[in-house]
A and B are shown apart, each in its own frame.
Chain A
Amino acid sequence: MALLFFFIISTLLALSVFSNKNRSINFSAASIYSLLHISLSIYAYINLNDLDSVYYKFDSLGIILNGLLSIILIPVFWHIRYFLDRYIPDRKMKGRFISLIIILSTALSSIYFADNIVIVWVSLEITTVAVTFLIYHERYPDALEAAWKFLFISSFGIVLAFIGILLLSVKVSNAQDSSLSYTHLQAVSHLIDPLFMKAAFLLLVTGYSIKMNIFPLYPATVDAKTIAPFPVNALTSTAVLNGGFVAIFRLYSIISGTESAVWANRVLLIIGMTSLVIMSVQLFKVKRFSRMFAYSSMEHMALVIIALSLGKPGLYAAILHIMLHSLAKTGIFLHYGQIRAYYLSGWIHDSGDYMKQNGFSALVYLLGLMTATAVPPSGLFVSEYLILRALFSEGYSYIAIAIIVLLSVVMYVIFKYSMQLLYGKLPDNFQKDKAIINKYEPVSQIILFGLVFYLAYFTPGFIKELMNSVVQNLN
């Protein structure tokens, strides 16, 4: 019943800070929650493959992603302090922000460990509500527009996904608690009508695509990330995307054991390639850093989906890529918070001469840029290399070459915009006296980018075992 206790304590913590005005109580709750989350990850690892709280299971993928969220939450909570101090004067709203982050993280843990398709669906809807209010936290018209679009499209996607779940339950429903568990669905997947299975797969993948920031429902996610506060983006561009991946992967693990597996692989490949092409084109039009990084996340998720479409040969690379991208993108978005504080703007044309003005931070940004765009020796280069190798070995040479071309375009555009920030002319409207610099802020990013390098080149044995276990358990 560990997860049930985790949910109860998390809810109490979220409630305790929801209307609280005391700063130290807010951050004590955040620290306690962070420790609680780490404890859950450790407990889950100790109890690997055990069932918990009726609808949950501590499987390898859940442990990897929950552990990753535990790591990400530490710098995120740290940077939330800066964000709240700088932009949110209302003390009540500060507590509300932390409360929503706790609710979001708890719902994400529920997604990672859920062994029931409906629980994943419910938890994803909770993340929608939490993210919507987090986007709208600064209460200005653009935030309202972004929040509305995210809420509406997510809700629509969630309804589509629910229809998919209903189609999947045609043959397997017997009103028992286990009837819609992934374990049970995998076991009876051969009994499900292929037409219903395919329709369910399409509806669920479409519905969850907004969470994973991929085609077809990606636009609302990109708009949301353009506007959302940077600590929120540090979670929505990492842990929430991973939640979307888990939802799609669990479904894939059901269909991969049936005669529809080849069809599902093609669907995923088309979705991945379409996402990659769209983001490469859209990237040329971006004018804000946050939007550029949102499209960068779309690129990485497209690569993950392409890797997943290869089945077992690409799965290890997909999981490694998810892990490394989460750490890299957390660092990038946390650094974006510093850029915004320095230039008092998130627009690319409002930035410039960062290297001369704020040398140390600029170097950290450059490091992050190289890490996120997979420039060697970035850890992401290793996972991208593994994905491309899997594509070549499975006979998708043309796809691999197309991906290399598209990734080169993406890298060119992102570096072009970043050069404006690093070496471009300092804008006339820059107010040096109002620029905020904190020399300790980049430290968290150095650690995160270092972790990307470490996990790729010196992957610890237990993480390798967990990743291999995910691959082995796929049908």
Chain B
Amino acid sequence: MSNPFASRTGITVVGFAIGITATLLQYFGNPPNMGICVACFERDIAGGLGLHRAAVVQYIRPEIIGFVIGAFIAALLAKEYRPRGGSAPLVRFFLGVFAMIGALVFLGCPWRALLRLAGGDWNAMTGLAGLATGIGAGVLFLKSGYSLGRAQTQKPAAGTLFPVFMAGLFLLLVFQVTFSEGGPIFFSQKGPGSQHAPLLISLGAGLLVGAIAQRSRFCTMGALRDVILLRDFHLMSGVAGLLVAAFAMNFILGQFKPGFASQPIAHTDHLWNFLGMALAGLAFALAGGCPGRQLFLSGEGDLDAGIFALGMIVGAGVSHNFAMASSPAGAAAFGPAGVIVGFIFCLAVGFTMRERA
């Protein structure tokens, strides 16, 4: 095959590389069991921009910027840059909002669920079980003809918008502009938002992961979906690679601390860990990709994926402003309500949006 990354070996190696990169980022300063977490890092960006005022989770994460721009460059070089969009953008925006609300009840995206497991945080197991359940529900919709409709080809310049937006965030990060007294850009002085690897290491890691993930089509949601839907283990070998590499690296770096209680940036509310991730999984399945994959797609010109990512960033603001995001103490006051509203929305989307064959 002309694209070696798209082979079984290719995707396994990519998963392995992501596992190593993520655990090394923790070693270099990123929060524990959060070397790379797309949901958490988009939430930190939302905080940095002042879309929420949770003071401990505000930072413009260069990894996210790197993901999009790395995928953009890789797609350009491989002649796969192809601006497209127009497949129910507003529906995708709200899928992003509710995906984030669910992920922040659990406290992590699928990538972080894997990294938490690899760090010995056994609460990740209920989260991953929820994720699989949500994706399983999404598969039932896909089997019965669920579709958000076709995307159309867009003008070449349109696809550069999301990478340019990311470049703009990078400038805000580098110059740390203060827009008003006590105003944005916010940078956490303590808490997870203050824990980060050096800027260039984070950016480099993001660019690398963005490029190889674009080439290999690495997707954690797709991995579970393809196993359930098609008995196809191709993408799952990437997830397995990530998990094995992260386990090994955590042992080597002394980052493996097994147990349920007192895990970093996690809680032991099993019911809401499960349901939060189930909501996220369903939303990812309906939108066609995990949060990481949506960023790589937006880099290669998928405007709808860009809309989903923006939905997640706004969703993070909503989640923290309306007391829905969990804390290490457990689910927040309005977290369960947010998850229930999210389920109602996702089920309505699943039942009403379908192609008549």
Do A and B share a complex?
Answer: no
Residues of A within 8 A of B (CB): none
